[in-house]
Structure 1
Amino acid sequence: MRIKDGDEEQSETNVTAVTPAPAPSSPEPPFTIFDRRQQWLIIAIVSTAATFSGFASNIYFPALPTIADNLNVSLELINLTVTSYLIFQGIAPSFWGPVSDVRGRRIAYAFTFVVFLGACIGLAEAKNYATLIVLRCLQSTGSASTIAIGSGVVGDITTRADRGGFMGIFQAGLLVPVAVGPVIGGALAGTLGWRSIFWFLAIYSGSFLIVLLIFLPETLRSVVGNGSRVPSNFVAKFPLSTYAKLTQVEWDPETSPSDLAPRKRIDVTGPFRILVSKQAAPIVVFLAVYYAVWQMSITAMSSLFKDKYGLSEIHIGLTFIANGVGSMVGTLIAGRIMNLDYRNIKRKLDLRAAATLESGQGNSARTEETEFPLEKARFRLVPIYSCLQCLSIILFGWTINFTVHIAVPIISTFITGWTVISMQTIISTYLVDIFPSEVPQLVPVSTSPDVWAGATFTICAGVQLLALIGPLTQWKYGATWRKEMENQKSQAASSA
């Protein structure tokens, strides 16, 4: 008897049959040619690429009051540049994600970084508010998709059994800027002026683009399979040939293209169809609410800490460290916990299957398959994280409202960052599990609250608790919905 985990992947972690099976005439190819060191190198590159989305957003926060004064506009209008950035951060992956799924990861990365670099140079020279807000949208278009493309790379080279840990490392790349970005931004704005923030990003992105093109191989499975297939163009081939030599894998130009993942056409509506599907919508809406409240809290920190505690740009930047550290701790721990949960559930099902077979209740003449409870392996801790974030948001709002010692709201931001990113890591990993070739990315809009801080964040916590219905629904019905989706795909493939 074999426990089916829903993956068509081949890996050392797949469950072997209890009954002996005849040895195959030739060994099956590995899921990926990249060994563990190469996988870590690739994850490190795409994780670093993902830092640009966070840097472009968070490095900006401590300078918001200064930019408002310099451009002679209200703080509310400057806060709209944060909102517009997040809107395009949610829209852009619907274009760049499909491009990376069809043309390749390297090509998509190259174009996104060129757009980002140009926008940063323009922002450094911006002279008025209109230019600022337009270029912030363009900057977001270039940086946001590094998350979607990176998630695709993680899905290309990992299996479900170890994906949680790798996704945790990848998510950490998103979160380093949450901790150090505001510190850098505050220091630059307080010494060299706010324009130096964008010159810093321009230099950083230009340098990294060169590193990426030299060291990141193409991983898209419809182009290179498990990495051992000859790509059709030089852009995809370089530097994959070097990785193949290091892995001691010989490319076979005569190999049938049927061994590759199927090629697709660019479909910009695909991510939106996934977002409204019943397999994704409940948990995406849930995450959108929690992410939005988190963004509201950190966007409001600059003005609230300046008004309530009289902090300078540099000191405001330092207050963001706790939130960033909490975020990084959350994603690293969540990834490890997901791997442990997955393996524990798999092991229990294996033991149960073996016991059933030995008791004579199983049929040794055929292989029976039991559906793996993926939702239980992924969502076990989501309700706990949800309640903790609600409490931390309430604590943040009321302690600032009554000007309690600044250490208390700062500690609350640590808890908020830890819990929301833990949930984001869990849900992102689950979406890669069930949509391995199309990873929807949703980043909701946030605004800076203008009413009483305590009441505002108490209302936010109530909305968050209501949104918990989403993952609970997924927990109960997710397995059934996944089975229906797999049956529909099988019927479509057989009729094609």
Structure 2
Amino acid sequence: MSTTETEKMDERAGSDIDVEAEADAHLSSAAVKNEKPTATEDGFTIVDFDGPDDPENPLNWTPRRKFFLLFCVTIMTILSPAGSTISSAAAPNIMRHFQSDNGKLGALVTTIFLLGYSFGPMAIAPLSELYGRAIVYKVCIVWYVVFHIACAVAPGLGALIVFRFLAGVGGSCPVTLGTGSIADVVVPEKRAGALGTYLVASMIGPSIGPVIGGYLTPAAGWRWDFWLMAIAGGVVAVLVIPTMPETYPYALLDRKTKRLNKAAAALNNSVCYRSKLDTGRTPAALFAFSIGRPLKMLCVPVVFLQSLYAAVVYGYLYMCFTTFPAVFGDQYGFGSGPSGLVTLGVGVGSSLGVMFCGAVAKRLVAYLAARNGTGPKPEYILPTLVIGGLFIPVSLFWYGWSAEAKTHWIVPIIATAFLGAGVVITYMASTLYLVDAYTVYAASVTAAGTIVRCLMATLLPLAGSAMYDRLGFGWGNSVLGFIAIGFLPLAVVLFVYGERIRTTKRFQVNF
């Protein structure tokens, strides 16, 4: 694209960041009169983007417009996981307030949010593929705010748990659609960097939640944890609702088709238009078909195995978040605030993990493609999965036995940094692999992984206190480390056989 063309696109982006408004300018009645179809099918003129450089195609948006979209997604992605863990440091105060000493219920107050993450994607992914991503983001951020307000005024423990679950349903939106939004606007060869930023946000959120809760709860009470999330969500809603553009090609072409048909009807033009991506199903039939797609994708061995591995390591992370108060409070005598601060070790490790992936992923894929004489393949990202997989058991053994021996408090915190790095590298490699393998259904394949991952993160911490009571921190974490070792061959198997498995008819689902 020439410099002049790029400058013109930048000028248009500066005047209006809403892609739909810009599209309207291109689809005037005059444009309909001069429409020269390039393809017809069953009497319809097929509507597609106008060539590879069409500015309406999100892949061709200006850097400024892409940055704005990714900024919105990133902010929501930080906010949502922060809401998932903000109650972990406040759990003892919440249990005392409601006069309960049930340890499992105390953990459930935190992890029930992730159960909402498991159920939300089953509706959010198909709705986004039916109506577009932007409207779903906007509805869900309002949902998130409403149920955090409900948490802040909850009259009882049962009500609080239910409202936390519903807040998690709304909070699952950026986690479900974020990778799809990135795939919509970023070409594959640059996707690792954008996805890295997104994953930093998804890991910073859980790390800062306990820090906020650890200091805010003693100062203002546990209800203000949820008021703060509601206020922050409201600020984000004010930004997102009026400005966030649509990126999903199906929705953009559907709207373009409707505008063309409306303009043609106004001109008494007999031409009928149909989107290239139109399946011919009614909205109700398409939703019913799409709602089962994430579950169908879990029937594909490649998707299921990658999702299961990511679920296990993600569950370990949330087990650490729910047990930090016991480890650093009981073992080291930390108060509520410092117990929340220990999660920064995970945050630092997560950031380093993303930097590693950003530096290595693109070069690795290019090197393997050149060495094998092929184009880029999803499997070429999998060697990084081995590195992340090695960090997980090492960090668990280190964290468990250093806490058991009551070494200086910095030693187990350093171990959790390695855990954060391992989780991010593993999660990023798995996500890049699945998104590149199933780009058209990026939201659904992400939803499939989210369902398994968040179920594990919900349920595993509930068993954590009983396991540590029986085995201690050393052997308890060692058991988790041995399980992580059992997953290490997965990356090698998929690197060698992954393409054959995912392209074999027997292992495919009619999506």
CA contact (8 A) 2:385 2:430 kept: no
| Shift in CA distance, 190/50, structure 1 to aligned 2, threshold 3 Å | same
CA contact (8 A) 2:257 2:273 kept: no
Q: Output the CA distance in 2 between the equivalents of 1:284 and 1:276.
A: 11
| Shift in CA distance, 232/170, structure 1 to aligned 2, threshold 3 Å | farther
Structure 1 residue 407 corresponds to structure 2 residue 410: yes
User: 1:287-324: per-residue Cα shift (whole Å, max 9, x none)?
Assistant: 11111122212211122211111211111111111111
Q: Output the CA distance in 2 between the equivalents of 1:342 and 1:371.
A: 9
Amino acid in the other structure paired with 1:271:
P
Amino acid in the other structure paired with 1:484:
T
CA contact (8 A) 2:91 2:110 kept: no
Q: Output the CA distance in 2 between the equivalents of 1:66 and 1:463.
A: 34
Q: Output the CA distance in 1 between the equivalents of 2:497 and 2:183.
A: 24
Amino acid in the other structure paired with 1:200:
L
Displacement, 1:418?
A: 1.0
Quote the residue 2:29 is aligned against: none
Query: Of residues 203, 222, 230 in structure 1, which corresponds to 2:256?
Result: 230
Quote the residue 1:144 is aligned against: 172
Amino acid in the other structure paired with 1:429:
L
Quote the residue 1:465 is aligned against: 485
| Shift in CA distance, 255/398, structure 1 to aligned 2, threshold 3 Å | farther
Amino acid in the other structure paired with 1:143:
G
Q: Which runs of 5+ in 1 are unaligned?
A: 1-25, 234-253, 353-369
Structure 2 matches for 1:276-425, cutoff 5 A? 276-349=299-372, 352=373, 370=374, 372-375=376-379, 377-425=380-428
Q: Output the CA distance in 1 between the equivalents of 2:91 and 2:202.
A: 21
Quote the residue 1:455 is aligned against: 475
Structure 1 residue 207 corresponds to structure 2 residue 235: yes
| Shift in CA distance, 51/261, structure 1 to aligned 2, threshold 3 Å | farther
Query: Of residues 429, 433, 443 in structure 2, which corresponds to 1:430?
Result: 433
Query: Of residues 72, 83, 96 in structure 2, which corresponds to 1:69?
Result: 96
Look up the SS of the partner of 1:297 in the other structure. Answer: helix
| Shift in CA distance, 486/348, structure 1 to aligned 2, threshold 3 Å | farther
Q: Which has the higher helix share?
A: 2
User: 1:49-81: per-residue Cα shift (whole Å, max 9, x none)?
Assistant: 112321111222211222222221123321122
Q: Output the CA distance in 1 between the equivalents of 2:215 and 2:406.
A: 25
> Once superposed, what is the RMSD of the aligned Cα atoms?
2.5
User: 1:191-247: per-residue Cα shift (whole Å, max 9, x none)?
Assistant: 01111010000011111112112232001110215x9x73859xxxxxxxxxxxxxx
Query: Of residues 14, 29, 54 in structure 1, which corresponds to 2:53?
Result: 29
User: 1:239-289: per-residue Cα shift (whole Å, max 9, x none)?
Assistant: xxxxxxxxxxxxxxx995444575872222110111221231111111111
- Identity, % of aligned pairs? 24
CA contact (8 A) 2:391 2:421 kept: no
Displacement, 1:328?
A: 2.4
| Shift in CA distance, 255/188, structure 1 to aligned 2, threshold 3 Å | farther
Q: Output the CA distance in 2 between the equivalents of 1:332 and 1:182.
A: 24
Q: Output the CA distance in 1 between the equivalents of 2:508 and 2:314.
A: 32
| Shift in CA distance, 458/118, structure 1 to aligned 2, threshold 3 Å | same
| Shift in CA distance, 347/477, structure 1 to aligned 2, threshold 3 Å | closer
| Shift in CA distance, 121/263, structure 1 to aligned 2, threshold 3 Å | farther
Query: Of residues 65, 71, 90 in structure 2, which corresponds to 1:38?
Result: 65
Look up the SS of the partner of 2:291 in the other structure. Answer: coil
Quote the residue 2:182 is aligned against: 154
Moved more, 435-444 or 196-205: 435-444
Quote the residue 2:120 is aligned against: 92
Displacement, 1:472?
A: 3.0
Quote the residue 2:160 is aligned against: 132
| Shift in CA distance, 34/312, structure 1 to aligned 2, threshold 3 Å | same
Displacement, 1:488?
A: 6.9
CA contact (8 A) 1:108 1:149 kept: no
| Shift in CA distance, 433/262, structure 1 to aligned 2, threshold 3 Å | farther
Q: Output the CA distance in 1 between the equivalents of 2:238 and 2:363.
A: 37
Q: Output the CA distance in 2 between the equivalents of 1:415 and 1:262.
A: 46
Number of aligned residues: 424
Quote the residue 1:241 is aligned against: none
User: 1:104-136: per-residue Cα shift (whole Å, max 9, x none)?
Assistant: 111111221222111101111123211111111
Displacement, 1:87?
A: 2.2
Amino acid in the other structure paired with 1:134:
V
CA contact (8 A) 2:378 2:434 kept: no
| Shift in CA distance, 172/119, structure 1 to aligned 2, threshold 3 Å | same
Quote the residue 2:45 is aligned against: none
Q: Output the CA distance in 2 between the equivalents of 1:466 and 1:73.
A: 38
Quote the residue 1:80 is aligned against: 108
Displacement, 1:37?
A: 2.6
| Shift in CA distance, 488/396, structure 1 to aligned 2, threshold 3 Å | closer
Q: Output the CA distance in 1 between the equivalents of 2:377 and 2:179.
A: 23
CA contact (8 A) 2:300 2:508 kept: no
Q: Output the CA distance in 2 between the equivalents of 1:88 and 1:413.
A: 26
Q: Output the CA distance in 2 between the equivalents of 1:199 and 1:297.
A: 25
TM-score, scaled relative to structure 1 = 0.80
Amino acid in the other structure paired with 2:186:
T
Structure 2 matches for 1:165-314, cutoff 5 A? 165-225=193-253, 230=256, 257-260=274-277, 265-266=286-287, 267-314=290-337
Q: Output the CA distance in 1 between the equivalents of 2:342 and 2:392.
A: 18
User: 1:116-174: per-residue Cα shift (whole Å, max 9, x none)?
Assistant: 11110111112321111111111111102221111211111122211111111111221
Moved more, 288-297 or 453-462: 288-297
Q: Output the CA distance in 1 between the equivalents of 2:234 and 2:64.
A: 26
Amino acid in the other structure paired with 1:304:
V
TM-score, scaled relative to structure 2 = 0.77
